Amino acid sequence: MTGHSPPIAASARHQALELIYEIFDEWAAQWAFACRPGCAVCCTHGVTLSESEGERILSFLRQTGRELWLIDRLGGLPLPAAPSCTTNEFARACLEQNDIDPGHGIFSGTCPLLQDDRCSVYSFRPFACRCFVSTVTCQPGREAVLPSAYLTASTAVGQLIEHLDQGRLWGTMIALLQHLTMQPPGPTGSGVIRKRQEDGAPGLLTARSLPGFLLAEEDYPHVAPLLETILHTPLGEGTIEDLLNNSSCF
């Protein structure tokens, strides 16, 4: 699964994302979280996502006639600082025992997709939003409380999602959605993606392949079964693992 692969078809990427979301949600149901509709303290504008996740959001808003609404919401917003590295870049540095500054999350600024403290794209929100939960009610200036195994699993699944989009764009929601709204609707091939990157995409990085997982020994028994379930889940004529390896099944 590690290493570089040719681009994966958009339809297969999007199907895999939906399956990964569902499997993770089922696995996470073992904990009772305090999150409820309307508690939007954690809904800031610095959340990161893959290009495929951004495409799903934009496609949904286009289908519901809200693309101009999105452009208006994004208009004039300053771009958050680009992350210093992607999740897989950070993981590679750790596994190779190289020093790397992961940077700091951006926890200020309200997400532009919020309406009355509720997510307007809830069913299409990216994984970074889906996995951000807490066992206690969040308050401004107060950190979320998460089980160690949950945090480890969230990181590992985020790595898989990045690997699924390797070679494409990755970054903050505002930067990515602003970039995508300036692209013509329709499928994009690897040549178009390369052209975008050559022209420059402010605030965005390139998704990288999976170098390996960062699994703490104490969390491994809890997280490994989740990853195995994801990888072995049927998709098309193969499995999600086949897709991630870009086998001939796709």
**Span 238-244, average pLDDT:** 96
- Residue 110 is classified by DSSP as B
What pLDDT sits at residue 233? 98
Q: Does residue 246 contact residue 165 with C-beta atoms inside 8 Å? A: no
Which residue has better confidence, 74 or 184?
Answer: 74
What pLDDT sits at residue 99? 82
pLDDT in tens, 4-36: 555 678 899 999 999 999 999 999 999 888 888
Confidence of residue 100 (pLDDT cuts 50, 70, 90): confident
Q: Is the pLDDT of residue 142 over 80?
A: no
Q: b/e per residue, 4-30, with b = 16+ CB within 10 A?
A: ebebbebebbbebbebbbebbeebbee
Q: Is the pLDDT of residue 71 over 60?
A: yes
Residue 132 one-letter amino acid:
F
Q: Where are the domains of the chain?
A: 10-244
What pLDDT sits at residue 195? 41
Beta strands 204-206; 169-172: pairing state = antiparallel
What pLDDT sits at residue 173? 92
What pLDDT sits at residue 15? 96
> Using CA atoms, how far apart are residues 37 and 17, in angstroms rounded to an integer?
23
**How far is C-alpha 239 from the chain's CA centre?**
20
Cβ atoms < 10 Å from Cβ of 173: 25
**Average pLDDT value for the chain:** 86
Which residue has better confidence, 82 or 20?
Answer: 20
**Span 113-120, average pLDDT:** 92
| Residue found by looking up tokens 């999350």 in the block | 105
* pTM for the model: 0.88
Q: Does residue 55 contact residue 185 with C-beta atoms inside 8 Å? A: no
What pLDDT sits at residue 186? 58
The most distant pair of C-alpha atoms in the chain lies apart, rounded to whole Å, by 49
What pLDDT sits at residue 198? 38
Q: Is the pLDDT of residue 117 over 80?
A: yes
pLDDT in tens, 165-174: 999 999 999 9
What pLDDT sits at residue 196? 45
Confidence of residue 103 (pLDDT cuts 50, 70, 90): low
> Using CA atoms, how far apart are residues 250 and 247, in angstroms rounded to an integer?
6
> Using CA atoms, how far apart are residues 111 and 226, in angstroms rounded to an integer?
30
What pLDDT sits at residue 189? 40
